[in-house]
Amino acid sequence: MSNQPVDQSRRTWVTMACAAGGVGGVATVVPFVSTFQPSERAKAAGAAVEADISTLKPGEMMTVEWRGKPVWIIKRSPEQLALLGKHDNELADPKSERKLEMTPEYARNEHRSIKPDVMVAVGICTHLGCSPSSKFTAGPQASLPDDWPGGFLCPCHGSTFDLAGRVFKNKPAPDNLEVPPHMYLSESKLLIGEDKKA
Ligand code: FES
């Protein structure tokens, strides 16, 4: 991998993740989990990546790399799911209508995902490309509002996203996090980067 050209977007999110204590600093995060290993050239070209989510428990998140970008897979707990519908008035684009290309048709629903409990999103802030940090615990805490429902905080300029990757109002990030093309190969296997069966 070291002799591959460095993708600037990848450099940005890796750097920021480290600077912020990052995704690796959270006990529930398993960075770069992948059971499928396409060649480096295929990955750079955008080959789909397979992810085994069989061990992911409610409230946990894992990260896979696709096209040099972190893709988060979040298993939302029933409590987290219940909170999702309660802050639409605080979101900039609660129904993900602003840029339809950021949310595939099958994810344009109240939980922004194929299965209600499993969220898939590209973990790159839509402002300037930093990687937001997970802040899954609901309630008052530093840098977040008292009615925080759980989600993500971008360490660069303070944009916040809920657990469906939807951006809160009056923040620098203009759009919700991207939901990449994806599909289920089985109950516990996801394919990131493709959403049509061959
Ligand atoms: S890059 Fe995330 S708020 Fe600026």
Alpha helices in 59-146 (DSSP H): 78-84
Q: How far apart are CA 56 and CA 178, in angstroms?
A: 21
133-135: strand order across its sheet? 133-135, 151-153, 160-162
Q: Which of 82, 74, 92, 88 lies closest to 170 in space, CA to CA? A: 92
Q: What is the pLDDT of residues 23-72, one digit of tens each?
A: 433 334 433 444 445 566 666 667 999 999 999 999 999 999 999 999 99
Nearest CA to ligand 1 atom 1: 128
Pocket test residue of 124, 127, 170, 177 for ligand 1, highest count of atoms within 8 A of CB: 127
Domains and their CATH numbers in the chain: 8-192 (2.102.10.10)
Does pTM surpass 0.85?
no
Stretch 128-136: mean pLDDT: 97
Q: State the residue for tokens 């988060």.
A: 72
CA of 13 to the centre of ligand 1 (A): 11
Cβ–ligand 1 contact at 191 (below 6 Å): no
